[in-house]
Structure 1
Amino acid sequence: MNEILIQDTTDFFKEKFGNSPSKTVLSPGRINIIGEHIDYNDGYVLPAAIDKIICFAFKKNNSNTAIIQAIDLNESIVIDVTKEEILSEVVWTNYLRGVLFQLKLKGYEIGGFNCAFSSNIPTGSGLSSSAALECGFLFGINEMFNLGINSIDIALMGQKAEHWVGINCGIMDQFSSVMGLENKVLKIDCRTLDYTYHEANFVDYSLILFDSNVKHSLFTSEYNNRRIECNEGLSIIKENYPEINSFRDCDVNLLTSLKSKMTDNVYRRSLYAVKEIKRVIQACVALDNGDIETLGKLMFETHEGLSKDYEVSCAELDYLVDLAKVEEDVIGSRLMGGGFGGCTITLVKKGSENAIKGKFTKLYADQFGIELKIYDVKISNGTSLYKKN
């Protein structure tokens, strides 16, 4: 599938610009195995790059102008790379303008170039197509003009580009898009950006994303509320135990001793954060031991916490996880991402994928009258130059 995308992108580039690209870059979307809503709580996340990508074709054009073609949208932009960037009404262009703004901010000078890109990352499904767009674009410019920007700085500049667009995201999406490795997950410490790789070779299992095909409007306001509630919980903990700096230094017994000092909501949000930070650590141990069944149990526990204590699920996502719980050939499932819609990430025993997909699709349509979208994903390498075999 990716080979066809790469061929189509390079063919388009040749036809539009009259020559072959000098650099072809593949930049992946990402999943998060476990560790949801704790990036802003000083926790750990466990993402991985996937085999859904944006393919970019690049070549210098010996001018001060960048001509960039979004093949899938049949839209293009022309940018003078010597001038200051301002936000545009054409939303997709802002992620690229944000990258060029970051380059200027850090004093990098570049010339003009031609670029065409195309994607097979489903948009709006929580797979971080925007991070793949920012990081792949920056990676290609870095390679073309020999700027010497290292991988972690590419991720950080990609994050800053998204902030420039107006989306105050954490580092997980860009970091995993750039730093991913095939059959490995990244444990990222959101406080220090330290990271370690852990085995994720799901030999007997397939990773399937079931896209609920809904997005409830609660997300933005409730996301902000969760951050406020967590900060309130942490403040109460610090007042009583000044030596504790974050939820990762706390345990359930200590938190329970302060329950009477918190509102019910603040207590439950804090409880989820404390438990989820511990689950990420347990998940890494399970992966290192090849114990995928324990990982699956932890995923079910995370969903329970997200649904009951953190309250960021919805009827559609709960239904998909409830279906998964009663299937002998499913060992783990949970909502992935911010919540209130989007995907569940599900571990399914190999050989039973088609039967489960068919069953879930029918039952979901009967229950909600909504078509279920389904994506098979494999854990893959991060942003890289394409080298033809």
Structure 2
Amino acid sequence: MEGDWSNREFLPPLDGHRTRAFTKDEIVQRWEAKIGRKMTPQELATLEWGCVGIASTLAGVPGHPQYNLVFSDPTTYPRQFKADEKLAPLEQANNNLNQAKKSLRKAEEQLRDAKKGLGRSQRSSPEVSKAKAEVDRLKTLVEKRREQDRAAAAKISLTPEERRSLLAERAAAQGEHSKRSLDLVRDVKRRIEDVIARGPANKEEFIRMKNEDSVLARVRGLEAQFLPAGNPATWDVVTWAKDFYSGQDVARDNLGRVLINPDTGRPWPVATAPNPAAFEPDPVTGQVNMSRDLNFSKAAGMGNFDFNTEVAPGLWADANHMEYRPGDPRRDDPGPMGGPMKVYLSREEDLHSYGGRIFGAYYDSRVYGLSIRSVI
């Protein structure tokens, strides 16, 4: 099927439902029906990354949407961090402790399983010794995390009423910032679409026309290297949101050298206090430099980020997590981050809580991004 498929239905309307869930296979079927062909292996691999995979699939890019057009409202930006001066250290300490406890329970279960494999005359085995060493290590870690949790609670003493008040304050500030930022990015999107509607013949003419707009002329990221190939008449603009934690850093040795995890080849992550300065939007354009976003989480056991993508006016798609490979123990985990990949379609009024109803404490920042794609 050829031609402009931007207006073909991808996900159905909610029809009075607050949200609707879809399996990964249902999403594949619906996307293939929209674009009129089978998805390629690379496209399937991209989709299986979960929430970011949905954004990248709709943006027509592998891996991760580009950060060239990312926005955040400058006026409301600082207020969303105020309550986290007290909440974030407590949440970090508590989640680090809970994750250490969870790891210890799993290690103790593995030690019991290893002992079951011993013969009658055996007192130990290499497997048992290894499992016992891991249990001992994690017991020490749990005690360390427990002391850190107590220290944080002693330093920032909150009554239940004070904590509820701070949670409400944070939710209100985040909601206001999200709405204002969405208004900002939609204005930029409308201006880009207006230029496309004028019928520029190529990239160069699009750039000339967009520079006639007083707002777009100041926006970075609309240079030729960021634009799709082909006639601008085939272009479409996708809107997405990313939630993340601002306090991201890397571990370093005494000489300041970055420490690398040998298992992943990536730097060891370090969560710091919230760092609003790292992602402060431009006071004129509202654009955000995302170069300091390392996709690190706020604390152990917390999500690294969350994406929502607008699939139709006022309808947003998210996913619980990536598609886990066979043999991955998370496939059978009954928790919110386990099981099969699912995609959720929600109303815009439910969009403005960072991380949604389940993961609201995970993130302190939200940006909205635009991706320009070709739809033929």
TM-score (norm 2): 0.19
Query: Based on CA coordinates, which of the two structures has the bigger radius of gyration?
Result: 2
Greater fraction strand = 1
The structure with higher relative contact order (CA 8 Å, sep 6+) is: 2
TM-score (norm 1): 0.19
